[in-house]
Amino acid sequence: MGRRDHGYGWGVSDATFVKPGQDYDRDMDYIPDRITRDARKPDHGPVEGDLWPVEPGRYRLVAAPACPWANRSLIVHRLLGLEDVISVGRPAPTHDERSWSFDNDPGGTDPVLGIHRLQEAYFARVPDYPRGITVPAIVDIPTGQVVTNDFPWITHDLFFEWTELHRADAPDLWPEDLREEMEEVMERVFTEVNNGVYRCGFAGSQESYDRAYDRLWAALDWLEDRLTGRRYLMGDRLTEADVRLFTTLARFDAVYHGHFKCNRQKLSEMPALWGYARDLFQTPGFGETIDFDQIQAHYYVVQRDLNPSQIVPKGPDRSVWTTPHGRESLS
């Protein structure tokens, strides 16, 4: 039996709900609304909530740089050139049980939404919203209400529904001829790697941890092999699959190796994955969204069940991310 994460995506009380023998089970029940062209029925995916129209300047993407799920939205937003179309609010990396907050902004208030806690936007939509106050979230600026926090569909729809507002040279993150294979790869990356590190970190027993550890490293070995002969997950083209893997790799040595006990090897000891991660980090749109100080502050300070002292490690050396990766020849 798995335990459901009804906290803050991965907040202060994540480990509190783990009972002996249980496996970590992420709650994927999000606000299912979607933003589409003219609020039309989208061509892809389910329609289980309301539809909102694409409208430049109307929405604010609230995405904490500390969070890997929010980080992917920051990367896609930047790759597509939507900075002047959808504004961005960045909550601080540490928070209490109530909500992500804007402590890094002047006066501790988001300058566009005028709120201190993201919780306020959720409550504006659903008073006493009962589930996790998660990021990323898209907020309707005129009403101050959260529209959606369904992170896989947020980045999907930024690509497919906001197309006319992309910058002229925006990458094709969902090549039509690769989509079927992409979906298979992204599903494995999500279940075994993105979520796999949490399955290790929040395991409720030694047996649960051992299972999680073996699953994670089986997937990382598969990725090491896959990336040995190709520059990106899908070959010589950068896709959303790479965005989704990168946000976990960027946090691996800094957090997951020690804090989540994913310690068979460091990322820097896996030649293909390490070169691939640096290649992406040095690609415009990726590295500038990474804030290692905020990443480490969140995990080591907020997750007190795993780190009661709240001491934040000084290492590893971050300058290694800008060293040559040598993967250009694989294109």
CATH of the domain at 151: 3.40.30.10
Residues 53 and 160 in one domain: yes
Residues 192 and 274 in one domain: yes
The CATH number covering residue 197 comes to 1.20.1050.10
- Final residue before a domain boundary, out of 131, 165, 199: 165
State the residue range of the domain holding 283. 176-287
Q: Considering all CA atoms of the chain, what is the largest pairwise distance in Å, rounded to the nearest integer?
A: 54
Residues 50 and 161 in one domain: yes
Residues 140 and 192 in one domain: no
**Does some domain include residue 241?**
yes
**Secondary element (H or E) of residue 151:** helix 151-160
**Does some domain include residue 68?**
yes
Residues 129 and 191 in one domain: no
Residues 192 and 234 in one domain: yes
Q: How far is CA 171 from CA 77, 163, 254, in A?
A: 12, 11, 29
pLDDT of residue 2: 32
Does 67 qualify as catalytic in the annotation? Answer: yes
**Does some domain include residue 313?**
no
pLDDT in tens, the chain (331 residues): 232 333 333 332 333 345 556 788 888 889 999 999 999 999 999 999 999 999 999 999 999 999 999 999 999 999 999 999 999 999 999 999 889 999 999 999 999 999 999 999 999 999 999 999 999 999 999 999 999 999 999 999 999 999 999 999 999 999 999 999 999 999 999 999 999 999 999 999 999 999 999 999 999 999 999 999 999 999 999 999 999 999 999 999 999 999 999 999 999 999 999 999 999 999 999 999 999 999 999 999 999 999 999 999 999 999 999 999 999 999 8
- Final residue before a domain boundary, out of 125, 146, 165: 165
Distance CA 273, CA 257 (A): 15
pTM of the entire predicted model: 0.94
Distance CA 3, CA 6 (A): 9
Residues 64 and 96 in one domain: yes
Catalytic one among 8, 24, 30, 67?
67
Residues 155 and 181 in one domain: no
Catalytic one among 198, 209, 256, 276?
198
Residues 141 and 264 in one domain: no
What residues have CB less than 8 Å from 187, skipping those under 6 apart? Answer: none
**Does some domain include residue 2?**
no
Q: How far is CA 300 from CA 40, 70, 95, in A?
A: 43, 18, 12
Residues 149 and 223 in one domain: no
- Determine phi and psi for 5, rounding to 5 degrees: -90, 100
CA triple 208-15-290, angle to 5 deg: 100
Does 200 qualify as catalytic in the annotation? Answer: no
Q: How far is CA 192 from CA 200, 211, 212, in A?
A: 10, 11, 9
What residues have CB less than 8 Å from 126, skipping those under 6 apart? Answer: none
SS3 content of the chain, % helix, strand, coil (to 5): 45, 10, 45
Residues 42 and 128 in one domain: yes
Residues 156 and 252 in one domain: no
> For the chain, what is the domain count?
2
- Final residue before a domain boundary, out of 141, 165, 189: 165
Distance CA 214, CA 220 (A): 10
* Nearest partner of 243 among 277, 293, 205, judged by Cα: 277
The counts of H helices and E strands in the chain are 10, 8
The single-letter DSSP state of residue 269 is G
- Determine phi and psi for 77, rounding to 5 degrees: -55, -45
